[in-house]
Amino acid sequence: MDNSARADAGLEAPFIRQYNRYRKSMTNSRIKRLLSGCLSLAFLWACSPDKQNTASTWPTFGHDVSNSKFSALTAIDTANVTQLKEAWRFEDSTDGGGVYFNPVMMDNRVIGLMPSNKLVAMDAATGKRLWEFAPDSSDISNWSKGMTYHAGNPDRIFLISGGTLYSINAENGTVMKDFGHNGRVDFYEGLEVTDAMRAQVAVSSNAPGVVYNDLFIVGCKVPDELPSTPGDIRAFNINTGKLEWVFHVIPKPGEFGADTWSPNARERNGGANCWGGMALDEKRGIVFVPTASPSFDFYGADRPGQNLFANCLLALEAKTGKRIWHFQTTHHDLWDRDNGSPPNLVTVKRDGKAIDAVALVTKMGFLFLFDRETGESLFEVKEVPVDTVSRMPGEKPWPTQPIPVNPPFARQGYQEKFFGGSSAWIKEEIAKNKYKTGIYEPPSMEGSIILPTAHGGSNWGGAAVNPQTNILFVNAIDMPWILKLTDLKKIREANQLNPEILYRTYCSSCHGADKKGGAGPDLTSRAKNYKSAQIASILRKGAPPMPSFKFLSEQQIAAIAAYVRDTVAQQSFETAGIPENNEPYGFNGYNFYLDPENHPAIAPPFGTLTAIDLNTGNIVWQVPLGEDLRFKKMGIPNSGTFNRGGGIATAGGLIFIGATDDNMLRAFDQRTGKVLWEYQLPGMASSIPSTYAIGNKQYVVVSVNGEQANNFKGGYIAFAIP
């Protein structure tokens, strides 16, 4: 992609020019020689008898415990990827919605979670159902991206659904009755949530854990708003389900880091949990854990201080849970910039030496890189002074934030050079409303425009790494937010009951003004299958990534539920025992900042895919990811789109990624970022693909969301070369 094309796509910026200079310094012949040699080695490795099984499977989330998202298979490559055809599909039996699962393939079985929350094993060659496991009914919504497969005798699957941890026989889908109580462990075990608080504090998991020796190490998902609970990291015995150790992410009095909170933080605050997934250095016995922001995300007057170990990359001793080192990527987070991307274990070259490192991509569009043993940053990081003037009562923003000197892979701050065709309107709006537009402006009720946002930069899809070239590939969102804090007391007192106004205020930014979806699922038909009480329960508790709206009154919740279902609001559903959220402030929801034409108020691309050289931190290439047909019709191609999910890399020189809201699955050339193949899916692939081989045939499989307009209930679609 030349400079003029970059400018047309909205990518031109000072750091982009730096990328271009870097690319010109690398000759095509050099890249081809490097990749050719790597592919040859990969082919030999994949075909050697003692490595065939490992190379042919996809044994866990992200492929392996290092979270490389890399496969050594080469049967599908840059020369023949255009021949890919759909090989099979497995669709849910009921109307489904989102499915975010990275499917596992072991012993010729593809195992995936369905939109209906059933775990299904499918024949890897045909997609035929082999077994099905239905978790116990639960009103805690799942947003699960994976389960943990452990090879043993027999092979076990560790799955968290709702508030229960299951151990499941991978061969037949039955529970392992020797684990916990009849194959189940209460997933609240080891967390400080009283029985009386369980109705208000939903605890589950939307990411897999890792197995180290006889320990299953896992994070959890806890409410982003209050009341919540600290999302402590726990280890369970894989055979018995017994709790073995707990690491306190909000330290107890006397523990390291306790002085970075108020004295009663564990009783008052919550969060700091791991919801993005982990990486394990088996040789060193170190588990690397990214943690989330504290609860409540956007207002921190009740949690003064730096707030360790929220927003950290933690290195824990896997055997005991003891902290080895930590690095905090955002101090006293007020922007929901939790670390939702799982880390990648890599080996980089410095001064002719190989250094085992851990990489972390963030919502801020930063790449951090650390020595695995010491936590030393391998790219310089500067503590940069930021705005500390808050308009919110009692708020004390932290005076500095850590910013690495290597180039970011997402635009930083809502700057005029990014405004594009709506520039005049944007400048007028900023001046009229006095919006702040920097990257670390404290939130306020007046509002600020945030870029990058809580959606990313990078989000839970994280990065893939080709260890043979040391190139990291990461997708990102480049769309601004309008963030406003709200006075919840006034909202409750006003008790505005107009259903359409309530829906447009709190729901339309994700589900669309017409209820047909966008960043969130289509509600036009699916919601009619729910009772008002079910929708009301979802609104109160949230359904990740949707936040809880329990600060609204029961009348307001009923009005929204009725509007979604096209019915008259009824007050007959049970509300006893669910108290009102009495917190002083909330926020206006995950609202992208749109121009008068309802387009993102920024020049495209709205989503990108970036290749980064891990040895230097420099960007090799960056291209738009996704296609917004509205802009294509206006003569603006390659606009990029909102994206949620991630990609994988293969030794065949390819990156496979769905993630975009144009419902496409694409294959990119690792050398250039060129799209080599694309396929129109019946729904959005808000997930990470997997690839595996049966005999000499390589498959690529991806989970796909249900979409009523295409009469698709959600499930899995596999591709192969006939």
Higher pLDDT, 292 or 490: 292
Asked if 714 contacts 704 with a C-beta cutoff of 8 angstroms, the reply is yes
Higher pLDDT, 268 or 13: 268
Which helix (H) or strand (E) covers residue 561, if one does?
helix 554-565
Q: What is the pLDDT of residues 162-189, one digit of tens each?
A: 899 999 999 999 999 999 999 999 999 9
Span 642-656, average pLDDT: 97
Instruction: Give the model's confidence band at 48: pLDDT under 50 very low, under 70 low, under 90 confident, else very high.
Output: very low
Structure tokens at 500: 């359409």
Span 208-237, average pLDDT: 96
Q: What pLDDT does residue 495 have?
A: 62
Is 237 a residue whose pLDDT tops 80? yes
C-alpha distances in Å from residue 513, one per residue of 215, 341, 510, 541, 547: 47, 30, 9, 22, 18
- In whole angstroms, what is the distance from residue 128 CA to residue 89 CA? 9
Pick the closest to residue 450 from 422, 420, 430 (CA basis). Answer: 430
Dihedral pair phi/psi, residue 454, rounded to 5°: -65, -15
Is 516 a residue whose pLDDT tops 80? no
Q: Choose the most confident range, by mean pLDDT, from 46-50, 280-284, 558-562.
A: 280-284
Q: What pLDDT does residue 528 have?
A: 63
Asked if 209 contacts 144 with a C-beta cutoff of 8 angstroms, the reply is no
Is 552 a member of any domain? yes
| Whether the model pTM is above 0.85 | yes
Span 478-492, average pLDDT: 88
C-alpha distances in Å from residue 291, one per residue of 371, 397, 562, 641: 18, 19, 37, 27
DSSP 8-state code for residue 548: P
Is 9 a residue whose pLDDT tops 70? no
Span 265-270, average pLDDT: 95
Cα dihedral sign for 290, 294, 299, 305?
negative
Torsion from C-alpha of 505, 511, 514, 518, nearest 10 degrees: 130
Torsion from C-alpha of 443, 447, 451, 456, nearest 10 degrees: 70
Q: What pLDDT does residue 19 have?
A: 34
DSSP codes joined into one string, 476-529: EE---EEE-EEEHHHHHHH----HHHHHHHHTHHHH-TTSS-SSS---TTGGGG
Q: What pLDDT does residue 417 have?
A: 96
- In whole angstroms, what is the distance from residue 684 CA to residue 664 CA? 7
Is 515 a member of any domain? yes
Q: What pLDDT does residue 518 have?
A: 61
Is 343 a residue whose pLDDT tops 90? yes
Is 573 a residue whose pLDDT tops 80? no
Give the chain's radius of gyration (CA, Å): 24
Which helix (H) or strand (E) covers residue 211, if one does?
strand 210-212
Is 512 a member of any domain? yes
Q: What pLDDT does residue 7 have?
A: 32
* Residue 3: strand, helix, or coil: helix
C-alpha distances in Å from residue 602, one per residue of 85, 335, 415, 589: 36, 20, 9, 20
Is 216 a residue whose pLDDT tops 80? yes
Is 484 a member of any domain? no
Structural domain count of the chain: 1
Instruction: Give the model's confidence band at 525: pLDDT under 50 very low, under 70 low, under 90 confident, else very high.
Output: low
Residue count of the chain, please give it: 722
Q: What pLDDT does residue 452 have?
A: 97
- In whole angstroms, what is the distance from residue 190 CA to residue 275 CA? 17
Residue 392 sits at the vertex; the CA angle it makes with 390 and 394, to the nearest 5 degrees, is 95
Is 482 a residue whose pLDDT tops 50? yes
Edge-to-edge strand list for the sheet holding 148-150: 148-150, 156-161, 164-169, 184-186
Burial class (CB in 10 A: 0-12, 13-18, 19+), 268: middle
Q: Choose the most confident range, by mean pLDDT, from 8-12, 193-197, 321-325.
A: 321-325
Is 521 a member of any domain? yes
Q: What is the pLDDT of residues 530-563, one digit of tens each?
A: 777 778 777 876 766 677 777 677 777 888 888 8
Instruction: Give the model's confidence band at 591: pLDDT under 50 very low, under 70 low, under 90 confident, else very high.
Output: confident
Of 88-97, 437-446, 684-693, which range is least confident?
Answer: 88-97
Is 380 a residue whose pLDDT tops 80? yes
Residues of the chain with pLDDT > 90, as a percent, come to 72
Is 588 a residue whose pLDDT tops 60? yes
Span 355-372, average pLDDT: 98
Is 520 a residue whose pLDDT tops 70? no
- In whole angstroms, what is the distance from residue 561 CA to residue 532 CA? 6
Is 525 a member of any domain? yes
Per-chain mean pLDDT for the chain: 88
- In whole angstroms, what is the distance from residue 288 CA to residue 212 CA? 12
Q: What pLDDT does residue 313 have?
A: 98
Instruction: Give the model's confidence band at 572: pLDDT under 50 very low, under 70 low, under 90 confident, else very high.
Output: very low
Instruction: Give the model's confidence band at 498: pLDDT under 50 very low, under 70 low, under 90 confident, else very high.
Output: confident
Edge-to-edge strand list for the sheet holding 664-669: 70-71, 647-650, 654-657, 664-669, 675-680
Is 21 a residue whose pLDDT tops 60? no
Is 561 a member of any domain? yes
Q: What is the pLDDT of residues 127-155, one digit of tens each?
A: 999 999 999 976 556 678 989 999 998 99
Which runs of consecutive H residues, i.e. helices, occur in 594-656? 629-633
Domain hosting residue 537, numbered range: 497-577
Span 570-591, average pLDDT: 62
Is 532 a member of any domain? yes
Instruction: Give the model's confidence band at 250: pLDDT under 50 very low, under 70 low, under 90 confident, else very high.
Output: very high
C-alpha 513: how far from its chain's center? 25
> What CATH number corresponds to the domain at position 509?
1.10.760.10
Written as one letter, the residue type at 657 is I
Other residues' Cβ atoms within 10 Å of the Cβ of residue 630: 12
Is 600 a residue whose pLDDT tops 50? yes
Pick the closest to residue 56 from 132, 142, 125 (CA basis). Answer: 125
Is 8 a residue whose pLDDT tops 70? no
